[in-house]
Amino acid sequence: MIRLLLIILLALLIGTGLSLGLQYDLGYIRVSLGHYLIETNFWVGLALLVVTVMLILAAIGLIRRFRRGTGLVAGWIARGNERRARRRTTQGLLALAEGNWPRARKLLTSSASNADTPLINYLAAAQASFESGDHDSVDDLLRKAFESTPGSDLAVGITQAQLQLAGNRLEQALATLIRLRKQSPHHPFVLKLLKNTYLRLEDWRELSKLLPELRKRNVLPEEEFHDLQRLVWHNLLESAAEDCRRQRKEDATASLEPLTRLWDELPGYLRRDEHTIRDYARLLADLGDEAQTETLLRKVLRNHWSDELINLYGRIEGQRPDEQLLLAEQWLKDRPNNPELLLALGRLSLRNQLWGKAREYFETSLRLRRSRETLAELSRLNAHMGEEELSIKLMMQGLANDNGLPELPMPKA
């Protein structure tokens, strides 16, 4: 109420002031514009000025309201585009999951510009293009993915490497992964993809250099890592042995240095691994260095028993076959019922020309375990000892057992 009274009082004062002012002649206003001359009473000029200012202010207000209204319309249109982009992106991802590659690519690329995450649209579209066989557009879509989102070079690079691997473009995949590893040296998935690439390229040397990092970053389960490590060094040993063979063709006196040097490079774990020791010993023996092979196997078997290694031990000839036989017979005291050791003793007995002892060892081994290998050794020995009939009988028994022949009536001799 008080506020209203104040407004009325102020209006009365202003009206009184104006009425008193109008009684006085304050002169006139004269404005000259080129050849035009405008003259008017001061109060009229003042009124015109006030009206002009009010019109300008009103016009400015209208323009602002119009612009604000245009922004609202633009925002409404943009929100509509985003909703459509989300819907089409969802449909595109569903088409990708269903294997409808052309539809997936069309939906994903058309909605990428208005999508919340254009990177996902372009990467998924690249996958769809690859699956549909349109390899030319894959790189273009990956480039758009990279340009759409700052800091996406790792994600785009990994996708590119995966598609290159899937397309058997191994050299390109390797180049991509080497570049990614420079950016992220310890990224587990990059390391895993690099491992797969080296494995498919059979680049065993580079893969051996990668093994420590794979283990440090726990990229593979423990058992899978050990299997991979064995595979890598097995192939490196085979490659070194092949180098030795080539050198031997050129120079019969060439050393086995490529193979023995590689053995020294092996991690300590593998130098105690039964499978790796067997591979190395077999290669040494194949290259003619049975003496060194015997020394290695003797050291290993003293501390770590292996049926595979004792089988190999019985096949090689050391510098002193008699000492080799005596050592194996000492091992028999601790393993009297080991068929592999008995087979090896039979062979070592043959090297020492102890024919009867060899046959006893073979027969004992055969009673403990029916082995084709033992049966063949015993049959061969009997044949050379003049017992052809027994040798043929053993061979026939072995053939019948190995082929699972049924019990059938046979004619009498």
Which two tokens mark 280? 């190395």
Say yes or no to pLDDT of 410 above 60. no
Rounded (5°) CA angle 52-57-61 = 145
Contacts of residue 157, Cβ cutoff 8 Å, sequence gap at least 6:
176, 179, 180, 183
Please report the domains of the chain, with CATH numbers, ordered by start residue: 82-150 (1.25.40)
pLDDT tens sequence across 25-43: 556 566 666 666 666 666 5
Say yes or no to pLDDT of 364 above 70. yes
Contact 277, 296 (CB under 8 A): yes
Q: Which pLDDT does position 398 carry in this prediction?
A: 62
- The structure's pTM equals 0.69
Q: What average pLDDT does the chain have?
A: 83
Contacts of residue 45, Cβ cutoff 8 Å, sequence gap at least 6:
28, 29
| Lowest mean pLDDT, pick from 56-70, 226-240, 309-323, 395-409 | 395-409
| Chain centroid offset of residue 162 CA | 8
pLDDT tens sequence across 252-272: 777 888 899 999 988 888 888
Q: Which pLDDT does position 83 carry in this prediction?
A: 75
Q: Which pLDDT does position 268 carry in this prediction?
A: 85
| Lowest mean pLDDT, pick from 123-137, 172-186, 187-201 | 123-137
| Lowest mean pLDDT, pick from 274-288, 368-382, 388-402 | 388-402
Q: Which pLDDT does position 74 carry in this prediction?
A: 44
